[in-house]
Amino acid sequence: MSVTVLYFAWVKEKVGVGLESLSPPESVRTVSDLVDWLKLQSPSHAEAFSDLSQIRVAVDQVHGPFDAAIDDAKEIAFFPPVTGG
């Protein structure tokens, strides 16, 4: 599987890039699996994903939970919660 991973705001700053084209192993089937795999890719990734309560995710531009399947996903985006006011 090849997937585009997008990072926004402080997640992008911590990872060090805004976009990565990745081919995670077949064992990566959910967003949570992807996060666990990403944490192993670099200390920057590990730091960015150290507190998942501060990160939201969208799979193919649809917000969802970390247990969402990513089998045929083309794009996964990570971003901080958005507040308004």
| 25-43 tens-digit pLDDT | 999 999 999 999 999 999 9
Does the domain at 3-79 match CATH 3.30.200.20? Answer given as no
Domain ranges of the chain: 3-79
**Using one digit for the tens of pLDDT, what is the confidence trace for 69-81?**
998 999 999 999 8
pTM, rounded to two decimals: 0.93
The gap from C-alpha 78 to its chain's centroid, in whole angstroms, comes to 4
Cβ burial of 39 (10 Å; 0-12, 13-18, 19+) is: middle
Contact 3, 73 (CB under 8 A): yes
Between CA 18 and CA 9 the distance in angstroms is 9
The letter for the amino acid at 22 is L
